């Protein structure tokens, strides 16, 4: 594909790029309609916003060269963005409501870079048939197989997900903390109704709906018709009900594989698989999902078929008994601070309410801050116990794994060549027992991500850096995999 003559994007982007500004100005125009002076100025601003968007569209040209994509903008300040095809990490096709109205598709071009990880390097909107044609031609340059939408639609998904599976994923895949917050406000609203409290139920009920009801609904809409498969050295995913999404990316662009389990998903023995691929984060800033919640015993088989490059024989290492001491010390310090704050604020609140005659003094009243403090201490000690038992670490020839999470678990499998920075640190008490924590920095879907291990022998954690050095010296290390 070689285009010496530049082509323009679809003119619908004039509306798409200025829609947020137009909505705000239109609302202001309606409210200021009775005031002639203000309404005229707002109307003129609407005209200016549309005109600016038109000029940007008119002066922007796209060139598809043999080896690179070029975006030129001939405004007061001329700009030229060049994206070599070999730097492209993924090509995503997205269709929002406006795209459906105008019959267009948005091509999102991403490179594997941490500089601008959340935003694509280029968003190109064309008529749907032209967008799919361009995507097919670019994909044929990037991947080791021919690509077409028709052939893509005929390939069976590696795992078939029913509407029930998508619904379960949307509910049980929510972070446990988010679910607990929503349930707390629901309970607060129910108690307010039962006791006819003047505090009202509207606000807590709205918080419950925002945290625990709306996200699952959006999840069902987002992951509807979820499909994923592997073809050659590339992975393809597709999903969406109202806003459809298609993406393709090479295996070599994957920086980490995350097997994720929330508390609810652990209770029903299910797990999902997410990837760290720069440029593939969703609009919510989360890691892209390549496998919705499915039975835990199916995960190894799915990894074998979808991502065999991230499968190896595990020799899991648990935290040694001595790790209990630095863990317990850390949680104890937090418990002491929490107890002091709870006790002081609790008794101050009781004194205030007694002075205002809003409550009646009783003997049991004075034990409430003590009970809350005891509950906090018990909760933190439980977290310390789980933190000791949960965290794991192991190394293979090409990969290593960290297991983290007290309530929500995450098993992260990383290739040595994806590592950006290694930081091994040890507190005084941990150093006394020869233990340390390791922080691994790597490019992720959300920019740069840091993964921290538990307390393990410093000599064992140092082997990660030693293994990377060894791969560099033997020529095994592939610098292309870490975004350089």
Task: Give per-residue pLDDT as tens, 79-138.
Answer: 888 888 877 877 888 888 888 888 999 888 877 555 555 577 888 899 988 888 888 888
SS3 for 258? Answer: strand
Are 119 and 251 a contacting pair, CB within 8 Å? no
| 232-257 core/surface letters (b: 16 or more CB in 10 A; e: else) | eebbbbbbbeebbbbbbbbbbbbbbb
Residue 316 included in any domain: no
Q: What is the pLDDT of residue 377?
A: 92
The answer to whether residues 334 and 234 belong to one domain is no
How distant, in Å, are the alpha carbons of 202, 291, 295, 296 from that of 267?
32, 18, 11, 11
Beta strands in 218-370 (DSSP E): 227-231, 234-239, 244-250, 256-261, 270-276, 289-295, 317-318
Q: Looking at the structure, do residues 36 and 143 belong to the same domain, yes or no?
A: yes
**Long-range contacts of the stretch 201-208 (C-beta < 8 A, 24+):** 207/181, 207/182, 208/182, 208/183
The per-residue pLDDT for 484 is 42
The reply to whether 179 falls in a domain is: yes
Residue 61 CA to residue 81 CA, distance in Å, equals 11
Is residue 99 one of the residues assigned to a domain? yes
Measured CA to CA, the distance from residue 251 to residue 413 in angstroms comes to 14
Same domain, 299 and 174: yes
Same domain, 148 and 70: yes
Amino acid 340: pLDDT:
92
Question: Is 3 contained in some domain?
Answer: no
For residue 443, the tally of other CB atoms under 10 A from its CB is 28
- Going from the C-alpha of 387 to that of each of 117, 175, 332, 425, the distances in angstroms are 31, 18, 13, 18
327 and 234 housed in the same domain: no
Three-state SS for 453?
coil
Q: Are residues 189 and 304 in the same domain?
A: yes
Residues 6+ apart with CB under 8 A from 127: 10, 103, 104, 105
Residue 55 lies in a domain: yes
- Residues 365, 352: Cα–Cα separation, whole Å: 13
Say if residue 53 is in the same domain as residue 86.
yes
What was the pLDDT predicted at 97? Answer: 84
- Pair 267, 175: CB distance under 8 Å: no
Low-confidence ranges of the chain (pLDDT < 70): 1-4, 20, 22, 25-26, 28-39, 42, 112-118, 144-151, 195-200, 279-285, 358-360, 444-447, 477-484
Do 148 and 177 belong to one domain? no
Helix (H) or strand (E) holding 122: strand 122-127
Domain count across the chain: 4
Considering the domain architecture, whether residues 67 and 146 belong to the same structural domain is answered as: yes
Asked if residue 226 and residue 243 are part of one domain, the reply reads: yes
pLDDT of 6: 80
**Same domain for 232 and 358:** no
Q: Residue 120's domain spans which residues?
A: 13-154
Radius of gyration of the chain (CA): 27
For residues 138 and 114, the answer to whether their CB atoms sit within 8 Å is no
- 184 plus 128 within the same structural domain: no
- The dihedral built from the CA positions of residue 373, 376, 382 and 388, taken in this order, carries a sign that is negative
- The last residue of a domain, from among 103, 137, 154: 154
């Amino acid at each position: 594909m070689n285009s010496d003559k530049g082509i323009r994007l679809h003119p619908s982007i004039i509306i798409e790029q200025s829609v947020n500004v137009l909505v705000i100005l239109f609302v202001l125009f309606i409210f200021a309609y009775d005031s002639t002076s203000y309404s005229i100025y707002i109307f003129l601003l609407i005209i200016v916003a549309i005109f600016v968007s038109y000029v940007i569209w008119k002066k922007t040209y796209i060139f598809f060269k043999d080896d690179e994509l070029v975006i030129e903008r001939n405004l007061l300040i001329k700009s030229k963005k060049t994206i070599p095809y070999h730097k492209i990490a993924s090509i995503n096709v997205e269709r929002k409501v406006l795209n459906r109205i105008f019959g267009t598709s948005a091509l999102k071009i991403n490179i594997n870079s941490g500089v601008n990880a959340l935003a694509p390097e280029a968003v190109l909107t064309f008529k749907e048939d032209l967008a799919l044609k361009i995507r097919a031609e670019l994909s044929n340059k990037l991947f080791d197989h021919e690509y077409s939408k028709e052939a893509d639609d005929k390939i069976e998904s590696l795992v078939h997900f029913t509407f029930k599976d998508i619904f379960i994923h949307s509910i049980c895949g929510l972070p446990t903390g988010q679910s607990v917050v929503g349930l707390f406000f629901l309970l607060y609203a129910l108690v307010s109704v039962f006791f006819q409290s003047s505090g009202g139920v509207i606000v807590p009920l709205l918080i419950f709906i925002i945290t625990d009801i709306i996200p699952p609904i959006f999840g069902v809409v987002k992951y509807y018709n979820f499909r994923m498969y592997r073809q050659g050295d590339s992975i393809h995913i597709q999903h969406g009900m109202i806003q459809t999404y298609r993406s393709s990316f090479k295996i070599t662009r994957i920086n980490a594989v995350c097997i994720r389990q929330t508390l609810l998903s652990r209770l029903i023995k299910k797990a999902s698989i997410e990837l760290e691929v720069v440029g593939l984060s969703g609009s919510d800033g989360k890691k892209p999902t390549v496998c919705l919640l499915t039975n835990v015993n199916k995960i190894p088989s799915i990894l074998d078929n979808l991502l065999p490059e991230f499968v190896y024989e595990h020799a899991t290492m648990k935290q040694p008994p001595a790790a209990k001491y630095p863990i317990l010390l850390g949680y104890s310090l937090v418990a002491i601070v929490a107890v002091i704050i709870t006790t002081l604020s609790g008794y101050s609140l009781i004194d205030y309410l007694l002075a205002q005659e809003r409550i009646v003094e009783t003997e049991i009243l004075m034990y409430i801050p003590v009970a809350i403090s005891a509950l906090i201490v018990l909760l933190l000690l439980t977290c310390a116990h789980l933190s000791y038992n949960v965290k794991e670490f192991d190394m293979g020839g090409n990969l290593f794994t960290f297991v983290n999470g007290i309530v929500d678990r995450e098993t992260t499998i990383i290739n040595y060549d994806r590592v950006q920075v290694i930081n091994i640190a040890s507190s005084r008490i941990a150093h006394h027992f020869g233990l340390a924590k390791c922080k691994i920095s790597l490019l992720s879907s959300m920019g740069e991500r840091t993964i921290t291990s538990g307390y393990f022998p410093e000599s064992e954690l140092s082997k990660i850096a030693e293994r990377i050095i060894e791969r560099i010296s033997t020529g095994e290390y592939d610098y292309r995999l870490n975004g350089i």
